[in-house]
Structure 1
Amino acid sequence: MNWITNYVRPKINSFLGRREMPENLWIKDPETGEMVFHKELEENQWVIPSSGYHMKISAKERLKAFLDDGAYDLLENPRVAVDPLKFRDEKRYTDRLKDYRAKTSLDDAVLNATGSIEGLPIVATVQDFAFMGGSLGMAAGEAIVKGFEKAIELKRPLVLFSASGGARMQEGILSLMQLARTTVAVDRLKEAGLPYIVVLTNPTTGGVTASYAMLGDIHIAEPGAVIGFAGARVIEQTIREKLPEGFQRSEYLMEHGMVDMVVSRLELKETIARLLKIMLKEKVVPVEPAETEVIPALEPVETAEARQDA
């Protein structure tokens, strides 16, 4: 058996030209099951070309795709107390944080950056779902407040991309306090007369939805995103009724007036830039109508009645 495994099979594979394929070369579409080439998907901002399904994207990839030339300057996040409650479940909270920091190369779930879209300077705040489900703890809350303060200081609009499962349970009441703190930061930005646009991505739930994620001047949702406070199963168990199909999806919420528009990730930059220029009363280049052939007016035909009157 060893002779067949170690000698015959490699010879056959070599003869047939078979090669080992990287495991991440293809990615499966969660909706249709179609296999998509990894490189093609990456170039398309992680949107499945055939179905339009929006896959999750990291905060740094989001900033690179959204801002002009992929150029941005990251703001340093404020330092906060680590594990103030000395929390432990299956493992210590401090160990859990170390694991996620190693996996994502992030300090916490929020990144702030300065950059521009179509030449318009902005501050962008992005939540990364890969870091503990984008949960809102003290560090994330402090980072969001810092983003608003920077926007006020630079007199720039703020665009926030939400992606979160809600408050971070390992920080208890200290996590819930961030809902009030971020709400105050939103009010200060609005008092300064600066636009605040929220892009709701999949998923945006819990306390994040109950605070800064639903306080924007304009709410844009990515297609198919789950947006809500409590989970659909919890709601069904509470009201003991079957929820409508597509409940809490962005398209359903737009139909019922909870979000303003649903925009593909591929069109977000252009859409938001145009909205901000209108809100800031910047000059917006109108869309030129298609050229049409000018047909000269025909001269009136002299009729017999007209000649007789003359």
Structure 2
Amino acid sequence: MNWISNYVRPKINSLFSRREVPENLWTKCSECGTMLFHRELADNLMVCTNCDHHMAITPRERFASLFDGGVYTEVKVPAPVTDPLHFKDQKRYPDRMKAAQKSTGEEEAMLVAEGEIGRTPIVAAAQDFSFMGGSMGMYVGNAIIAAAQRAVKLKRPLVLFSAAGGARMQEGILSLMQMPRTTVAVQMLKEAGLPYIVVLTHPTTGGVTASYAMLGDVHIAEPNALICFAGPRVIEQTIREKLPEGFQRAEYLLDHGMLDRVTHRSQMRAELITLTRMLTGLPPEVKGDLPPPSIGPDAETAPELPAAVENAEPAKAGAKTAGDAAAAKPVTAKSAKPAADAKDKGTAK
């Protein structure tokens, strides 16, 4: 046994060796440059705790915070033809698809699910910008049609979260055909009298904005989201003029009437619950897990009585307890006060 090689050298290497630290523990905010711990950032729904910048969020993370208890069921989407144009640029289209599927863990750029928010059943669809820029291809068109058909079948509202760079160039004219296809899907919801709510996230551009993203009954946007058809840089180069500050951002569009609300991500769930229940004619959401208390003669349990009423004299002869008196004849605070006064006068006599 060599003492130097078997003991001394490993000991020295352990003292001076570099410890392996996971690279995904910290995230740098693209707006303010603050380093954010990954758990703190995830608990804050991928919103910077320093400058309130809304970062990209995956559809599964969004649905986990949206649906009651994070429980939802995925809706199956018909798979389109793979590489219909045999497109190739620097890479073959199938190779790009495999790389995107490996990096995101998703099959395509849109996820469709059904579940309940605030005990309100809905169908939801969300685009994943990390999957080839959330580009709209044949699968995205099929997903929106499947979501609309499912909503019509179950008679539920459809909530769509858009995040895309436009149409997918690798599918050419077939990707542009998704614009009229998705418009017809939205019309199905209109004819069925079902609400269609669109939440526009950063960024929503190109053919997506020119089709299903701007056809909702209500349009909500996350703060500072870029929403446009052509980007500001292209417009500046075309008209050769300086654009206003905040041009094509959510707040600018809200001021000019293209949006209904700009809502923080932490308040989005409550906003959607209120809207869906209002548009479907349901009563306001009940806070908590218990149903609303029954008020009326058929109530199984009487509401708790005030202290002044509980200490009042029984209002009916033969009633042994205040509860029996309350069951025999409703006792109010106004009727309890004269009874108490009469008792005091009798004691004085």
TM more than 0.5 = yes
Unaligned runs of 5+ residues in structure 1 are 1-5, 288-310
Spell out, residue by residue over 1:45-80, the C-alpha distance to the aligned partner (whole angstroms, 9 max, x if none). 111122111110111111111111000000111021
User: CA contact under 8 A between 2:274 and 2:285: conserved in structure 1?
Assistant: no
**1:11 pairs with one of 12, 15, 24:** 15
Measured in 2, the distance between the counterparts of 1:173 and 1:37 equals 43
List aligned pairs for 1:161-310, cutoff 5 A: 161-284=161-284
Aligned to 1:99: 99
Give the SS at the match of 1:114: strand
Aligned to 2:347: none
Q: TM-score, normalised by structure 1?
A: 0.86
User: CA contact under 8 A between 2:166 and 2:204: conserved in structure 1?
Assistant: yes
Is 1:153 matched with 2:169? no
Spell out, residue by residue over 1:237-274, the C-alpha distance to the aligned partner (whole angstroms, 9 max, x if none). 11111111111111111111111110011110100110
TM-aligned CA deviation for residue 10 of structure 1: 5.5
User: Who wins on radius of gyration, i.e. which is larger?
Assistant: 2
* AA matched with 1:11: L
Aligned to 2:69: 69
Aligned to 1:116: 116
Give the SS at the match of 1:203: strand
Measured in 1, the distance between the counterparts of 2:60 and 2:285 equals 30
Aligned to 1:134: 134
Query: Identity percentage over the alignment?
Result: 56
Spell out, residue by residue over 1:201-248, the C-alpha distance to the aligned partner (whole angstroms, 9 max, x if none). 010000000000000000000011111000111101111111111111
Spell out, residue by residue over 1:18-52, the C-alpha distance to the aligned partner (whole angstroms, 9 max, x if none). 95532221211211111111100011111112211
Measured in 2, the distance between the counterparts of 1:54 and 1:24 equals 18
Measured in 2, the distance between the counterparts of 1:285 and 1:135 equals 36
Aligned to 1:304: none
TM-aligned CA deviation for residue 7 of structure 1: 7.9
User: CA contact under 8 A between 2:68 and 2:116: conserved in structure 1?
Assistant: yes
Aligned to 2:298: none
RMSD: 1.9
* AA matched with 1:191: E
User: CA contact under 8 A between 2:117 and 2:269: conserved in structure 1?
Assistant: yes
Measured in 1, the distance between the counterparts of 2:203 and 2:13 equals 47
Is 1:89 matched with 2:89? yes
User: CA contact under 8 A between 2:118 and 2:285: conserved in structure 1?
Assistant: no
Count of residues paired in the alignment = 279
* Regions of 4+ moved over 6 Å: 6-9
TM-aligned CA deviation for residue 83 of structure 1: 0.7
User: CA contact under 8 A between 2:273 and 2:285: conserved in structure 1?
Assistant: no
| CA separation of 1:36 and 1:85: change in aligned 2, threshold 3 A | same
Higher RCO (C-alpha 8 Å, min separation 6): 1
TM-aligned CA deviation for residue 123 of structure 1: 0.1
Measured in 2, the distance between the counterparts of 1:84 and 1:24 equals 37
Measured in 2, the distance between the counterparts of 1:285 and 1:56 equals 29
Measured in 2, the distance between the counterparts of 1:65 and 1:11 equals 44
